[in-house]
Homo-oligomer: A and B are copies of this chain.
Protein backbone atom coordinates (compact mmCIF):
# COMPACT_ATOMS: atom_id res chain seq x y z
CA UNK A 1 0.00 0.00 0.00
CA UNK A 2 3.09 2.16 0.22
CA UNK A 3 2.42 2.83 3.88
CA UNK A 4 3.80 6.02 5.36
CA UNK A 5 5.11 6.88 8.80
CA UNK A 6 3.08 10.02 9.39
CA UNK A 7 0.83 8.52 12.06
CA UNK A 8 3.82 6.94 13.78
CA UNK A 9 5.88 10.14 13.82
CA UNK A 10 2.92 12.22 14.95
CA UNK A 11 2.22 9.82 17.82
CA UNK A 12 5.91 9.88 18.70
CA UNK A 13 5.90 13.67 18.83
CA UNK A 14 2.78 13.84 20.99
CA UNK A 15 4.06 11.23 23.43
CA UNK A 16 7.38 13.05 23.62
CA UNK A 17 5.75 16.42 24.34
CA UNK A 18 3.48 14.81 26.92
CA UNK A 19 6.34 13.19 28.79
CA UNK A 20 8.45 16.34 28.54
CA UNK A 21 5.72 18.42 30.09
CA UNK A 22 5.26 15.91 32.89
CA UNK A 23 8.92 16.39 33.63
CA UNK A 24 8.14 20.03 34.35
CA UNK A 25 9.06 21.70 31.08
CA UNK A 26 6.86 24.33 29.54
CA UNK A 27 7.37 23.88 25.81
CA UNK A 28 9.11 21.40 23.54
CA UNK A 29 11.10 22.44 20.49
CA UNK A 30 10.91 20.76 17.11
CA UNK A 31 14.65 20.26 17.27
CA UNK A 32 14.50 18.14 20.42
CA UNK A 33 11.58 16.11 19.12
CA UNK A 34 13.35 15.60 15.81
CA UNK A 35 16.43 14.34 17.63
CA UNK A 36 14.34 11.73 19.43
CA UNK A 37 12.62 10.63 16.21
CA UNK A 38 15.89 10.83 14.29
CA UNK A 39 14.53 13.06 11.57
CA UNK A 40 14.58 16.67 10.48
CA UNK A 41 12.99 19.45 12.58
CA UNK A 42 11.05 20.68 9.55
CA UNK A 43 9.34 17.30 9.25
CA UNK A 44 8.25 17.64 12.87
CA UNK A 45 7.11 21.23 12.43
CA UNK A 46 5.05 20.27 9.41
CA UNK A 47 3.32 17.42 11.22
CA UNK A 48 2.77 19.44 14.38
CA UNK A 49 1.33 22.22 12.24
CA UNK A 50 -1.35 19.80 11.08
CA UNK A 51 -1.97 18.70 14.66
CA UNK A 52 -2.31 22.35 15.65
CA UNK A 53 -4.93 22.87 12.94
CA UNK A 54 -6.79 19.95 14.49
CA UNK A 55 -6.59 21.55 17.92
CA UNK A 56 -4.34 18.92 19.48
CA UNK A 57 -1.28 21.08 20.16
CA UNK A 58 -0.40 24.75 20.47
CA UNK A 59 2.71 26.64 19.46
CA UNK A 60 4.37 29.74 20.83
CA UNK A 61 6.67 31.96 18.83
CA UNK A 62 9.36 34.39 19.79
CA UNK A 63 11.85 33.73 22.55
CA UNK A 64 11.15 30.62 24.59
CA UNK A 65 9.06 29.35 21.73
CA UNK A 66 7.97 25.77 21.20
CA UNK A 67 5.10 23.34 21.31
CA UNK A 68 2.72 22.24 24.03
CA UNK A 69 -0.31 19.99 24.25
CA UNK A 70 -3.69 21.65 23.76
CA UNK A 71 -5.43 18.64 25.30
CA UNK A 72 -4.50 15.93 27.77
CA UNK A 73 -2.91 12.82 26.34
CA UNK A 74 -5.81 10.82 27.74
CA UNK A 75 -8.32 12.75 25.65
CA UNK A 76 -6.42 12.41 22.36
CA UNK A 77 -6.96 9.23 20.36
CA UNK A 78 -5.11 7.82 17.39
CA UNK A 79 -8.24 8.61 15.38
CA UNK A 80 -7.78 12.31 16.15
CA UNK A 81 -4.19 12.07 14.95
CA UNK A 82 -5.15 9.98 11.94
CA UNK A 83 -7.75 12.50 10.82
CA UNK A 84 -5.25 15.30 11.32
CA UNK A 85 -2.40 13.84 9.26
CA UNK A 86 -3.98 11.39 6.80
CA UNK A 87 -5.98 13.08 4.08
CA UNK A 88 -7.35 10.42 1.78
CA UNK A 89 -9.36 7.21 2.04
CA UNK A 90 -7.79 3.83 2.71
CA UNK A 91 -8.59 2.29 -0.68
CA UNK A 92 -8.82 4.13 -3.98
CA UNK A 93 -11.28 3.64 -6.80
CA UNK A 94 -10.29 3.26 -10.45
CA UNK A 95 -8.19 6.17 -11.71
CA UNK A 96 -10.37 6.31 -14.80
CA UNK A 97 -14.12 5.76 -14.99
CA UNK A 98 -14.92 2.10 -15.74
CA UNK A 99 -16.95 1.22 -18.83
CA UNK A 100 -20.48 2.29 -17.91
CA UNK A 101 -21.85 0.14 -20.70
CA UNK A 102 -20.62 -2.98 -18.88
CA UNK A 103 -22.72 -4.32 -16.01
CA UNK A 104 -19.67 -4.79 -13.81
CA UNK A 105 -18.08 -1.52 -14.89
CA UNK A 106 -21.30 0.28 -14.05
CA UNK A 107 -21.93 -1.23 -10.64
CA UNK A 108 -18.44 -1.83 -9.27
CA UNK A 109 -17.82 1.62 -7.85
CA UNK A 110 -21.05 1.97 -5.86
CA UNK A 111 -20.55 -1.58 -4.59
CA UNK A 112 -16.95 -1.05 -3.48
CA UNK A 113 -17.73 2.35 -2.02
CA UNK A 114 -20.30 0.83 0.31
CA UNK A 115 -17.98 -1.99 1.32
CA UNK A 116 -15.04 0.33 1.88
CA UNK A 117 -17.15 2.65 4.00
CA UNK A 118 -17.99 -0.16 6.39
CA UNK A 119 -14.37 -1.23 6.61
CA UNK A 120 -13.08 2.28 7.22
CA UNK A 121 -15.71 2.78 9.88
CA UNK A 122 -14.39 -0.28 11.67
CA UNK A 123 -10.83 0.99 11.34
CA UNK A 124 -11.84 4.34 12.78
CA UNK A 125 -13.56 2.70 15.74
CA UNK A 126 -10.37 0.79 16.44
CA UNK A 127 -8.18 3.88 16.17
CA UNK A 128 -10.55 5.73 18.51
CA UNK A 129 -10.03 3.09 21.18
CA UNK A 130 -6.34 3.95 21.59
CA UNK A 131 -5.47 7.10 23.48
CA UNK A 132 -2.08 8.76 23.42
CA UNK A 133 -2.03 8.15 27.16
CA UNK A 134 -1.99 4.44 26.39
CA UNK A 135 0.70 4.95 23.76
CA UNK A 136 2.92 6.69 26.28
CA UNK A 137 2.13 4.00 28.82
CA UNK A 138 3.18 1.30 26.38
CA UNK A 139 6.31 3.27 25.57
CA UNK A 140 7.31 3.54 29.21
CA UNK A 141 6.47 -0.11 29.79
CA UNK A 142 9.06 -1.21 27.24
CA UNK A 143 11.96 -2.81 29.12
CA UNK A 144 15.22 -0.90 28.94
CA UNK A 145 17.23 -3.89 27.84
CA UNK A 146 15.91 -6.99 26.11
CA UNK A 147 16.24 -10.08 28.33
Contacts and interface: CB of A to CB of B under 8 A. Distances in A.
Specify which of A15, A93, A107 lies most central, judged by the most chain B CB atoms within 10 Å of its CB.
A107
B39 A94 contact: yes
B138 A127 contact: no
Interface residues of A, number: 61
A19 interface: yes
A99 B34 CA distance: 9
A98 B37 contact: yes
A12 B111 CA distance: 10
B94 A12 contact: yes
A122 B126 CA distance: 8
Contacts of A7: 91
Interface stretch (A45-53, A54-62, A63-71, A112-120): A112-120
A5 B94 contact: yes
Interface of A: 1-5, 7-9, 11-12, 15-16, 19, 35-39, 78, 86-99, 102-108, 110-112, 114-115, 118-119, 122-123, 126-127, 130, 134-136, 138-142, 144
Given A12-B98, A119-B126, 19 more contacts: A1-B89, A3-B89, A3-B91, A3-B92, A5-B91, A5-B95, A8-B112, A9-B94, A11-B112, A12-B104, A12-B108, A35-B99, A35-B102, A39-B95, A78-B115, A103-B140, A111-B135, A111-B142, A112-B135
